[in-house]
């Protein structure tokens, strides 16, 4: 990716590892793209590479942990935290990852990264044993869940003589990942995208309803990523607990019938329809306008359910040329086979199959585990944030539309 980073500020944290020398090239590449780069080095990093090298490459003073100027330190770390459009750490040792995961702020770098509101990206580098250690992996999972982006580590020959995962990604790859955060791809520009999110509620009476655990997190993540990539987004949301995204048209519905009306009315003018909502498949055959009284005779209260219309199938049946239709499949068994049946039955181009019985997947969590299934094949998406999965889904949509 070539992008002009003029006017953008990158704060680059460098921690103590042999890969610190490779961070020099990261600075140099970012500068060539036009970015201002401010380097913070830990005390240990300064043992590997002289701060003067980074100062010369970045053309800015390098902040180190010598505490030479304690009176300005407090101000300086907040200023850098605020100045960052992206905060990157390369190499990121097991130590800094652990500190970040647990909110420990005991030096300039850990203090500044804790204070920043900018997107944070880390390029881990360490011995294989340290990288694969359960505690490091747990710390990384915590950071990923909080939205920290990772580049690498790669596998290969390590400076300690071992071979395996733990080598810092190449400087070019790190610089590209930083650039991608600073000038996001606009590959959905000009496209109208409709996303459904959340659960529907089927009312029995004014105080009782039937629903499910969908929070809206998955659908909203798709909507937010689509907006970032330039799409004009409409979200049709049922009942949700996740914060509603800004910058898109929001249509609120309660029942599956209302969702059906809202989606089928808008779908014909959409380029892409992505149905992440979990609509109730059934509604009550009889509903009450007043609170239904308890019988007090110990007899069971039998209710009859009638099937709701299938919105995805209706949109699929009316699919227009040039439209891309994406559905989700929430399964607890036979994930791939069941999802493939839904892909065909609903005339979808892509189905995102998630086994909602797995920890870290499905309803009301920030992560998901999915398989992207098209008529041509499958792509596995192991545990990742819903934001990351949203990116994968949109990449697949772009791929399908370019065929």
Instruction: Return d(Cα 125, Cα 166) in angstroms, integer.
Output: 5
Per rule CB under 6 A, is residue 264 in the interface with ligand PMT? no
Give the C-alpha separation, 67 to 63, whole Å: 9
Rounded Cα distance, 21 and 53, in Å: 9
Return the range that interacts with ligand PMT (CB under 6 A); candidates 73-81, 139-147, 153-161, 274-282. 274-282
Residue 197: its H or E element: strand 192-197
Phi, psi for 275 (deg, rounded to 5): -105, 95
Binding piece for ligand PMT, criterion CB under 6 A, among 82-90, 211-219, 230-238, 391-399 = 211-219
In terms of phi and psi (left: phi > 0; alpha: psi -120 to 50; beta: otherwise), the region of 350 is beta
Query: What CA–CA distance (Å, rounded) separates 281 from 95?
Result: 49
Based on the residue annotation, tell me whether 160 is a catalytic residue of this protein: yes
Write the CB contacts of 266 (distance below 8 Å, at least 6 apart in sequence). 194, 234, 236, 251
According to the binding rule CB under 6 A, does residue 363 interact with ligand PMT?
yes
Residues binding ligand PMT: number (CB under 6 A): 29
Going by C-alpha positions, the residue among 181, 157, 151, 156 that lies closest to residue 169 is 151
- When asked if residue 310 is in the footprint of ligand PMT (CB under 6 A), the reply is yes
Q: Are 121 and 181 in contact (CB under 8 A)?
A: yes
**Closer residue to ligand PMT (CB): 77 or 342:** 342
* Least Cβ distance, residue 221 to ligand PMT (angstroms): 8
- Grouping H, G, I as helix, E, B as strand and the rest as coil, residue 270 is coil
State the nearest-atom distance from the C-beta of 239 to ligand PMT, in Å: 10
Residue 392 found at the interface with ligand PMT (CB under 6 A):
no
Residue 391, SS3 per DSSP: helix
Kindly state whether residue 354 participates in binding ligand PMT, applying the rule CB under 6 A: yes
- Name which of 9 and 354 has its Cβ closer to ligand PMT: 354
Q: Which is nearer to ligand PMT, 98 or 389 (CB)?
A: 389
Catalytic hit among 3, 24, 140, 160: 160
Binding to ligand PMT by residue 340, rule CB under 6 A?
no
Six token digits for residue 349? 């181009």
217 binds ligand PMT (CB under 6 A): yes
Minimum CB distance to ligand PMT, residue 246 (Å): 18
Give the SS3 label for residue 48: helix
Q: Taking CB under 6 A as the rule, does residue 245 contact ligand PMT?
A: no
Residues that bind ligand PMT (CB under 6 A): 196, 198, 214-219, 256, 275-279, 281, 308, 310-312, 327-330, 342, 354, 356, 362-364
Could you give the residue numbers annotated as active site? 160
């Amino acid at each position: 990716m070539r992008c002009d980073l003029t006017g953008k500020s990158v704060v680059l944290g460098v921690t103590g590892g042999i890969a610190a020398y490779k961070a020099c090239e990261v600075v140099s590449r970012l500068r060539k793209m036009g970015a201002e780069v401010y380097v913070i080095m830990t005390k240990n990093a300064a043992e590997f590479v002289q701060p003067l090298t980074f100062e010369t490459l970045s053309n800015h003073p390098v902040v180190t942990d010598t505490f030479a100027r304690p009176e300005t330190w407090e101000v300086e770390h907040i200023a850098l935290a605020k100045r960052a459009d992206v905060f990157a750490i390369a190499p990121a040792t097991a130590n800094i990852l652990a500190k970040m995961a647990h909110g420990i702020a005991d030096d300039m770098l850990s203090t500044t990264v804790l204070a920043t509101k900018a997107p944070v990206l880390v390029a881990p580098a360490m011995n294989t044993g340290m990288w694969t250690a359960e505690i490091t992996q747990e710390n990384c999972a915590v950071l990923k869940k909080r939205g920290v982006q990772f580049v690498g580590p790669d596998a290969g020959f390590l400076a300690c003589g071992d071979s395996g995962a733990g080598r810092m990604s190449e400087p070019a790859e790190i610089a590209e990942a930083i650039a991608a955060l600073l000038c996001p791809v606009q590959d959905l520009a000009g496209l109208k995208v409709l996303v459904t999110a959340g659960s529907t509620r089927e009312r029995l009476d004014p105080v009782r309803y039937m629903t499910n655990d969908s929070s809206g997190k998955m659908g909203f993540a798709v909507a937010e990523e689509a907006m970032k990539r330039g799409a004009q987004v409409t979200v049709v949301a049922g009942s949700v607990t996740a914060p509603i995204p800004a910058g898109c048209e929001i249509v609120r519905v309660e029942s599956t019938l209302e969702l059906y009306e809202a989606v089928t009315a808008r779908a014909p003018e959409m380029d892409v329809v992505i149905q992440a909502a979990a609509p109730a498949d059934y509604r009550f055959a009889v509903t009450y306008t007043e609170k239904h009284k308890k019988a007090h005779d110990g007899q069971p209260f039998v209710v009859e359910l009638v099937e709701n219309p299938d919105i995805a199938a209706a949109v699929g049946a009316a699919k227009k040329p040039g439209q891309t239709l994406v559905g989700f499949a929430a399964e607890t068994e036979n994930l791939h086979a069941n999802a493939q049946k839904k892909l065909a039955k609903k005339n979808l181009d892509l189905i995102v199959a998630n086994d909602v019985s797995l920890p870290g997947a499905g309803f009301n969590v920030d992560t998901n585990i999915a398989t992207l299934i098209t008529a041509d094949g499958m792509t596995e998406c192991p545990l990742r944030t819903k934001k990351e999965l949203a990116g994968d889904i949109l990449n697949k949509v772009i791929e399908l539309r370019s065929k």
